Amino acid sequence: MMSPRHVLLRTRPRSIGRQAFFSTSLGRRSYEDTISNLKIGKDTRVIFQGFTGRQATANARESIEWGTNIVGGVTPGKNGEHLGLPVLPTVREAMEKLKPDATGIYVAAHQATAAIEEAIEAEVPLIVAVAEHIPIHDILRLRRQAFIPDAYSFINSQAAVASTTRAGLGQSLCIAVGGDVIPGTNFVDALNIFEHDNDTEGIVLIGEIGGEAEMDAADWIADYRRRSPNPKPIAAIIGGIHAAPGRVMGHAGAFTLPGEPDALTKIKRLEEAGATIVNHPEKFGDAMKILLGRSGRASSGFATTGASQRRSMHTMRRTRPALRAPTSHLANITQKRNLHIREEFALDLLRENGIDAAKTGGEGRKRMLAVAVDRANRSPCIIASPMTDPENLEVEAKKFPFDYRKGLEGSHIGAIAEHLQLKNGALNALPKLLDTLVDMYIKKEAFLLETVFVEQLGGLKVIGANFGFDDAAFRSSKRQADIHALRRLEDEDPQEIEAERDGIVYIKLAGDGNIGTLVNGAGLAMNTVDALADAGGKAANFLDTGGKATSETVKKSFQLILQDSRVKVIFVNIFGGLTLGDMIANGILMAFKELDMRLPVVVRIRGTNEKEGQKIIAESGLPLFAFDDFEEAAAKVLELANKG
């Protein structure tokens, strides 16, 4: 399971192998040799970078209460004490004096990359970067083999831990791979740890749209089940089946690039590999309990009878709709937390660099050429397809990774031209287009530069462009102001802009959805929309209050949902991790009183202070429906949605 909170705080006691560290020095061990450093526990020696800051201080206090072996921290230019522990000015000095096994980096996004590099140079065995929205190109500039598990959103992981705990199971180890575009640790790394961990009897995998890590995990699972006489059972969830096409669904990396598989494709591959799929993290407990009983690995003392298996099977995923064709990546899309400029502006940029580009005047066979992130290789890549038909794009699109510092080489260009099936003048014109796109990608900190072109007599012509730039580079570091000045708010939904100002991710879903959703955590929000659809309902929106929802953000979320005339009922699905259940309940009551609420509201609060929150709802005297179980809550939501 994936969550930085649990990685640092709640694993079983074990000792990290200090000899298996990563070093930038020649002759030292490889990236693969560092994977064992994920096995942390009670004895793991932890430092915090940015130790004396507000965020680090709060997390350190809580971590110490949970029993984490924090031995000190680093704040540049400081020597002394904080929370009764030593503070040192550099990570190298902390490494020498405190001998940490792991570091938690608690600094702002624009400072995070330098802090990560400092930890790499000091040879800290495990680096966990917590900052949200570190600029993509900052990570690309890091040494490619650096070991950087990054994770900032972990509500689904906490919900999975709660579910397995309620089912009478424990957790051996939780590994966070994060929701960023370029994660430092992937599913296969984690699966390799779990396979050989004697404390692990079953495995839970939490994935979502974006990238191909889940496909790699499925290949690993299929191979593992072939070579193991008694494989550990694996349950999985993939969020984003009903995600809005072309949108970033809360997590920075929760969107699909050209040629990447959608959620249904990932689910199909995992099922074929032998994983059991659920549609909501609450269902992991019962599903894993059944699987462990069947596998004979049920060593925790519970008994699973046939009757209880039948009762529990309803928690697993219902039949999914048929796989749908990938959506066109040149559709009219905008993505929150990233900037997509108007197509006319993108074509202007190409023309300014000497590329023949215009929406009109291009006839002939269309081909796709893009520069994007290769998440698996943690590098930029060219994506090329000899056709642009959405139904064939995932099959025909091919990636050509290249080194961020060296750029494209001649062999790359030849291979790309061959895949695109170019000839004559277009073959000669390709290097100019590639050089322009790569140069713009790096200098303007894009995350996607996608073009459609046709062959012309003596060359080629770009007739379509979809350019996306990293919003984090501008927001955290004020870089690329000229590009971000091209944003046009009139092209965007006013409610989504309003939500953005309050740190809420709100996406209005197309169609006749009549259920308003209010959820904390992007992954949980995606899974809520998917699970409602499985039950026969239709969500009107995706809304992520963020992992630290407050009473005020809950009230603001209600205001946003109430502006949608399609909504007949509001479903509040909150898991209390950083968010406290009683605080959320008070926020709901405040919204009812101040917004003159007329719509029915179904509330499901689980996690931290859940009993207190449920009591506040139950005793409010307001038309609120409080539930503990997700399926019971969903059934009530559908009943109310279908009334009028």
What is the residue type of 640?
L
- C-alpha 91/C-alpha 313 separation (Å) is 50
Q: Could you tell me the two tokens for 285?
A: 């407990």
6, 251, 280, 329: which is the annotated catalytic residue? Answer: 251
Q: Which residues, 6 or more positions from 22, have their beta carbon under 8 angstroms from its beta carbon?
A: 28, 29, 31, 33, 34, 37, 120, 123, 125, 145, 146, 147
- C-alpha 504/C-alpha 156 separation (Å) is 18
Are 107 and 93 in contact, with CB atoms under 8 Å apart?
A: no
- C-alpha 90/C-alpha 119 separation (Å) is 9
Q: Which residues, 6 or more positions from 428, have their beta carbon under 8 angstroms from its beta carbon?
A: 459
Measured between its terminal Cα atoms, the distance across the chain in Å is 41
- C-alpha 386/C-alpha 420 separation (Å) is 4
| Surface-to-core class of residue 90, CB atoms within 10 Å of its CB (0-12 exposed, 13-18 middle, 19+ buried) | middle
- C-alpha 579/C-alpha 547 separation (Å) is 7
Dihedral, CA of residue 81, residue 83, residue 88 and residue 91, to nearest 10? 170
Q: Which of 185, 143, 236, 142 is nearest to 39 (CA)?
A: 185
∠ CA(391), CA(396), CA(397), 5° rounding?
Answer: 105
Residue 338: its H or E element: strand 338-340
- Antiparallel, parallel or unpaired: β 569-576 and 541-544: unpaired
- C-alpha 596/C-alpha 562 separation (Å) is 11
Residue 82 a catalytic site member: no
- C-alpha 488/C-alpha 471 separation (Å) is 14
Within 10 angstroms of residue 606's Cβ, the number of other Cβ atoms is 24
78 Ramachandran zone, left/alpha/beta (phi>0; psi -120 to 50): beta
Residue 324: its H or E element: none
Within 10 angstroms of residue 53's Cβ, the number of other Cβ atoms is 18
Dihedral, CA of residue 40, residue 45, residue 49 and residue 53, to nearest 10? 100
Q: What is the DSSP string of 91-102?
A: HHHHHHHH--SE
- In a 3-state reduction of DSSP, which class is residue 588? helix
Biggest distance spanned by C-alpha atoms of the chain:
77
Q: Could you tell me the two tokens for 529?
A: 């929309």
Q: What share of the chain is helix, strand, coil (3-state, %, to 5)?
A: 40, 20, 40
Within 10 angstroms of residue 333's Cβ, the number of other Cβ atoms is 17
Residue 196's Cα: distance from chain center in Å? 26
Q: Could you tell me the two tokens for 16?
A: 């990290």
| Surface-to-core class of residue 267, CB atoms within 10 Å of its CB (0-12 exposed, 13-18 middle, 19+ buried) | buried
- Which residues form the catalytic set? 251
